Amino acid sequence: MKQKASILIVDDNEGIHKSLKLIFNKKGYKTDTAETAQEALKKAHKKYFNIALIEFKLPDMEGTILLSKLKELYPKMTCFIITDYAFLQKVRMAARINADGYFIKPLIPEDVVYRFEKTLKEQSIEKELKESEEKYRALFENTGTATMIIEEDSTISMVNTQGEKLSGYSKDEIENKMKWTDFVIPEDMEKMKKYHIFSGKAGEKPPTEYEFSFIDRKGEVKNILLKIGMIPNTKKSITSLMDITKHKISEERLKKTMDAAIYTISKIVEAKDPYTSGHQQRVSQLAVCIAREMEFNEDKIEGIRIASLIHDVGKIGLPTEILSKPTKLSNLEFSLIKEHSQTGYDILKSIDFPYPIVKIVLQHHERLDGSGYPNHIRGDEIILEARILGVADVVEAMSSHRPYRPALGIDAALEEIYKNKAILYDSKVVDACLKIFKKKVNLKLNSIIEELSYSL
């Protein structure tokens, strides 16, 4: 059961404090009385009172002086002065300094009760808000990651201990003094501002998680994974910042190792089939250009790049005399060639790639109408990355020399994908590829790819 508030009435008029005590006791409040300032101070030292009602003219001390002493003991105590018109000006001056209000004699009990109950309700609300804030602050402090509250104008209004450690600044230096932009390197500033502006617009859906480079007090740049969300019914956002610098370093090392392994595999294929030397590299560059034109994210582009570099790894299992045969292949020989997609899949499937590499390699010769190989799948059964690689592979192969024919040229290659758009090849992929070559018709494929790769 909720405990009732306590009230202290300080008045040397026995009639006043007895009648008020009776009224408040009936309301269920704990009421105590004192006839002098000293008696009131003794009682206040022993227990806390929510409200004090103090007569201005006490026998041993002016009421405003007692009020100041009570406020020194309990700054949150609410104190009212009782006075008559003769001392009203003094009381008003006291109210400006310390008093929370005053009553003019003769007292109207209903008015006193109303104002007391209003005050007690306000105290109760303030206490609940404080407790809620303390709980919130405790949760905020113990999230386990650096966390900040960001106001609409980008000011950081709250930061936890982990945020202090990450930034190198104290809470006093950060809260309501620094903006989140103070911690963003110039190269990432526009991206971050764009995301922050979007987060305040109705109907917009900005990313809730992304990486950026964070600069601390010492000027050290850290890789940060940021998660952000709007606080309901406010224009504030809450962000958590995880330092992934060590993870990024490990990731870079792993990428270098993977790139070296991919390069080695690519060179093994070229050693087996010297007539197509550089084919996988050129296909990879063109496939990446197409993916960028289609506005793929960086993860998907990286997957396409890697898959393209080793898409013909299955040719390792083919006889060299077939790969280098200067005349047209027989049906049997071509059926063996068509196995290279499946062989490549079988070689790579045990490797735990972070992208769908093996699926891209397996499907890069599949066609929309089901006429491809090895599994004759069609339409959306073929992943989009494989459809991109398929187009890039055809364009490069037709434009380049083969043991059994001279190069057919870029015009023939582009004509092939155009006339079979939406039949064999994905329409959007073909359109992106044609757009890349549209203004470069007088250049050879190698020159175009070289020019594009420099712009990546």
Q: Cβ distance 83 to 105 under 8 Å?
A: yes
Which ranges of 144-274 would DSSP assign to H, the alpha helix?
Answer: 161-167, 171-174, 186-199, 245-272
Gap between the Cα atoms of 207 and 225, Å rounded = 12
Fold of the domain spanning 143-243: Beta-Lactamase (3.30.450)
Q: 355: which residues sit within 8 A by CB, 6+ positions away?
A: 299, 300, 302, 303, 306, 307
Range with the largest mean pLDDT of 106-115, 271-280, 284-293:
284-293
pTM of the model: 0.52
Which tens digits make up the pLDDT trace of 7-64? 999 998 888 878 888 888 888 888 999 999 999 999 999 999 988 999 888 999 988 8
Gap between the Cα atoms of 220 and 243, Å rounded = 12
Question: Could you tell me the pLDDT band of residue 1, with boundaries at 50, 70 and 90?
Answer: very low
Q: Average pLDDT in the 95-123 region?
A: 79
Q: Average pLDDT in the 112-140 region?
A: 78
Poorest-pLDDT segment among 111-125, 150-164, 437-451: 437-451
Query: What's the pLDDT at 370?
Result: 95
Query: What's the pLDDT at 453?
Result: 45
Q: Average pLDDT in the 158-173 region?
A: 93
Question: Could you tell me the pLDDT band of residue 73, with boundaries at 50, 70 and 90?
Answer: very high
pLDDT at 202 over 60: no
Domain residue spans of the chain: 6-139, 143-243, 247-455
Q: How many CB atoms lie within 10 A of CB 133?
A: 11
Poorest-pLDDT segment among 213-217, 304-308, 348-352, 365-369: 348-352
| CATH annotation of 247-455 | 1.10.3210.10
pLDDT-above-70 percentage for the chain = 88
Poorest-pLDDT segment among 250-254, 301-305, 355-359: 250-254
pLDDT-above-90 percentage for the chain = 36
Query: What's the pLDDT at 79?
Result: 87
From the list 352, 349, 355, 353, the residue with the least C-alpha distance to 313 is: 349
Structure tokens at 118: 């209003």
Question: Could you tell me the pLDDT band of residue 361, with boundaries at 50, 70 and 90?
Answer: very high
Query: What's the pLDDT at 263?
Result: 79
Q: Which CATH class is domain 6-139?
A: alpha beta
